[in-house]
Every structure is written in structure tokens, then in C-alpha cells.
């Protein structure tokens, strides 16, 4: 089947059930926000809105002077992972920090929180920003903030290098009451197996270099939702790098109105 036709079919199927399709390949859309910043948005999209408990995932790669001046957030957890360059983040709960390459920050925007993020330099400033839904009761607590260094470590079996943004072996704690794992994985061999926990929502987002999942080809910046409770084969090479996100659904309605989630 023609690749473009296949991806369009995945989008069409998602539109009919108002949710992501397991085993389907999706492309991000080009979006614009802030003061003219262009970036990739994985979701919400025309294909599907959310993937419980994941609300939004953006891939920013912007240069000064464009960026994201002060704007509001409310009703979710936001996790920012800096892949290259650096961003200056200001939050109205007393934080003014520069997030450097290899660092990640998390803030819980439970009430009206004002935040800005601007690239510090001209050049490549690439970060991923994830919005994660939180239980209703967690939306009533005070906003919190946390900044950490993401340290790469190689698995004992030498199959991969992993940077843990959130999850086991990470000091980066989230307040979602869920079981989130957020990993940046670089292959050191040609084949790797991944087993998503049964009943969980999980997907892979391809960074540099094309790869295959269960014989399905993915190119850079495409993403793919995995079936849970079964083993998946990741086929690539030593330069393959991808983001792996998995969490337990909240089974809670996501009502999003721009930067507000109720």
C-alpha cells in the first residue's frame, strides 16, 4: 500500500472513533503559537484529540527572537525535555531558570499559572513539551515545580542507552498519581524488544534515523501507538533514537479549551 494512503487511512479510522488507532502511523502537523514560533504538534490533531492520559505533545525547534511570551496553563502536568540548545523558562510561582540540553522540568498547573519560554540563543533549540492529565482531586492543590538533569546510562546488556525523563531510576517525580515512564532510547544493536504493560497507553516518537516496529516502517518525526500486553520488535541501527512514552489511562474525561484542561 502507498505510504501516504496508509497514513491517511489511519487518520480516517481515528476520526471515526475519536481516538488514536493502535498499530497506526501518524505524522505531526505544523503549528504556530507564541510570537510566531513554528513547531511540530503530534496531538491534539485533526486525526484525534488526546490519548488518555496524554493531552498534548509538541516538538519545538525554534531560534531567538521568536518564542513563547507569557501565557497561562491550568489543570494538568507539563513536562519539558531539552534535547538541544537551551530555553529560558519563567513561571509566576517564583522560578526563573534556563533549561539546558539534557535537562527536564515539570510543573503542575493546577490553578492559573503564567509561564513563558524563550530560546536563549540563535541556533538549534529543540525541546519536547508533554501535557499530562491529572486526577480531579490533584487539580485542587498548589502548583509545584521541579528541574532535574537527565543522565544517560547504558543497560547492562549493552543493547541501548537510556535517558530517563520520568520513571524508574529517575529523580524526576510527577504528581499525576499514575505510572508514567518517559524514556529517550538510543539503540546499540539492530533489534530491541518492548513490552507495554497490558491496559496502558503507549507510543513511540522517532527522532533521528528511520526505523521499523513490527515490520512497519517509520521515518523521522512519525509516531506509532503500540498494542499493550504483547511484545514489539524495534528494528534499527546504532544511530536510532526514539522517545517511548507509556502510562495508565485515567479514564477521566479530558475537556481542553486551549491552555485550560478541566
pLDDT by residue (tens digit) across 186-214? 887 778 899 999 999 999 999 988 899 99
Residues pairing with 91 in the sheet? 95, 115
What CATH number does residue 155 fall under?
Answer: 2.60.120.10
Contact 95, 145 (CB under 8 A): yes
d(CA 84, CA 163): 14
Which range among 6-20, 85-99, 120-134 shows the weakest confidence by mean pLDDT? 6-20
| Joined grid coordinates for residue 247 | 502510562
d(CA 238, CA 3): 25
Indicate the pTM of the whole model: 0.90
Q: What's the whole-number mean pLDDT along residues 14-37? A: 82
Between 182 and 13, whose confidence is greater?
182
Q: What percent of the chain has pLDDT over 90?
A: 45
Q: How many domains does the chain have?
A: 1
Domain encompassing residue 32:
3-261
Contacts of the segment 12-15: beta carbons below 8 A, 24+ positions apart: 14/47, 14/48, 15/46, 15/47, 15/48
Contact 124, 98 (CB under 8 A): no
d(CA 166, CA 158): 21
Contact 204, 226 (CB under 8 A): yes
Q: Is the pLDDT of residue 14 over 60?
A: no
Amino acid at each position: 500500500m502507498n505510504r501516504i494512503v496508509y497514513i491517511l487511512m489511519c487518520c480516517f479510522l481515528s476520526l471515526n472513533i475519536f481516538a488514536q488507532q493502535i498499530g497506526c502511523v501518524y505524522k505531526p502537523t505544523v503549528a504556530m503559537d507564541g510570537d510566531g514560533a513554528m513547531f511540530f504538534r503530534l496531538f491534539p490533531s485533526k486525526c484525534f484529540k488526546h490519548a488518555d492520559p496524554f493531552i498534548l505533545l509538541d516538538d519545538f525547534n525554534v531560534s531567538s527572537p521568536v518564542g513563547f511570551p507569557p501565557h497561562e496553563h491550568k489543570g494538568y502536568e507539563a513536562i519539558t525535555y531539552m534535547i538541544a540548545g537551551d530555553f529560558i523558562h519563567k513561571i509566576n510561582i517564583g522560578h526563573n531558570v534556563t533549561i539546558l540540553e539534557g535537562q527536564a522540568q515539570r510543573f503542575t498547573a493546577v490553578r492559573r499559572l503564567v509561564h513563558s519560554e524563550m530560546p536563549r540563543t540563535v541556533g538549534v533549540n529543540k525541546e519536547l513539551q508533554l501535557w499530562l492529565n491529572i486526577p480531579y482531586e490533584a487539580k485542587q492543590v498548589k502548583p509545584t515545580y521541579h528541574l532535574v538533569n537527565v543522565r544517560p546510562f547504558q543497560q547492562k546488556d549493552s543493547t541501548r542507552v537510556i535517558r530517563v525523563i520520568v520513571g524508574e531510576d529517575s529523580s524526576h517525580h510527577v504528581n499525576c498519581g499514575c505510572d508514567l515512564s518517559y524514556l529517550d532510547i538510543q539503540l546499540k544493536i539492530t533489534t530491541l524488544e518492548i513490552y507495554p504493560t497490558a491496559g496502558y497507553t503507549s507510543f513511540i516518537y522517532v527522532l533521528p534515523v528511520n526505523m521499523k516496529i513490527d515490520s512497519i516502517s517509520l521515518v523521522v518525526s512519525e509516531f506509532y501507538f503500540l498494542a499493550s500486553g504483547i511484545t514489539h520488535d524495534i528494528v534499527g541501527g546504532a544511530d536510532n533514537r526514539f522517545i517511548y512514552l507509556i502510562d495508565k489511562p485515567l479514564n477521566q474525561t479530558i475537556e481542553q479549551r486551549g491552555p485550560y484542561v478541566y
